[in-house]
Amino acid sequence: MKASSVQLSILPGNALLDAYRRSGAFTDCYWVAAPYKVSLARYAEAFYTTWLFKLERWIIGWAVNLPSSDVEAKQLATGSLTRFAAWTVEARTETQLLLCDINARTRSWLMVEHVDAGSHCGTVLYFGSAVVPIAAAKTGERLPGWRFKALLGFHRIYSRALLAAARKRLLATQDAQPLHP
């Protein structure tokens, strides 16, 4: 549990996102370690209130008129809100959150896994996405779409940056006022 940089990984077997991988959707999974115990609510709030994700929220608010706030991010994180900007909660467990976008084409997934290995205690923070393929008009073949293919390189860099920003925010607030109780 020493990785302080974001790592690419396969999905854990219990991941809510795994159903999409098994159905043929594109999925990815990134993880990074936090050196202390982090709840899903704390992680989700940190993730959706980083400066980088606030930029995405601003773009969504401007482009499709679905604004969001840090207060709503906290409500999503704690489970008191099921719609946030362009997403709705598809599934939630004590350790996982799966969101679906307004077009039902993509999924965004967060998971925490607590690790207690003697002197190395902490939390693995996971972030992943799924892109549900669409059926080609002529052949019916399920394809991810040209936009996805064009943006895949950016998506990989952006995913790593989002997770790194969330970890940084969590570490910065560890000794400061908690993100939430």
- What stretches of the chain show up as alpha helix (H) in DSSP? 18-22, 40-48, 51-64, 70-78, 146-173
Phi, psi of 101 (to 5 degrees): -75, 170
The pLDDT tens digits for 93-137 are 999 999 999 999 899 999 999 998 766 789 999 999 999 887 666
Task: Write out the residue range of the structural domain in which residue 33 sits.
Answer: 7-173
Asked whether residue 18 is assigned to any structural domain, the reply reads yes
Asked whether residue 34 is assigned to any structural domain, the reply reads yes
Amino acid at 54: K
| Interatomic CA distance for residues 3 and 174, integer angstroms | 18
The pLDDT tens digits for 24-73 are 899 999 999 999 999 999 999 999 999 999 999 999 999 999 999 999 99
Asked whether residue 69 is assigned to any structural domain, the reply reads yes
Asked whether residue 54 is assigned to any structural domain, the reply reads yes
| Interatomic CA distance for residues 122 and 27, integer angstroms | 25
Asked whether residue 2 is assigned to any structural domain, the reply reads no
Asked whether residue 93 is assigned to any structural domain, the reply reads yes
Q: Which of 136, 137, 127, 44 is nearest to 84 (CA)?
A: 44
Given this model, what pLDDT does residue 4 score? 74
- DSSP helix, strand, coil percent of the chain (3-state; round to 5): 35, 30, 35
Looking at residue 34, which CATH number applies to its domain? 3.30.530
| Number of domains making up the chain | 1
Asked whether residue 181 is assigned to any structural domain, the reply reads no
The pLDDT tens digits for 64-105 are 999 999 999 999 999 999 999 999 999 999 999 999 999 998
Asked whether residue 157 is assigned to any structural domain, the reply reads yes
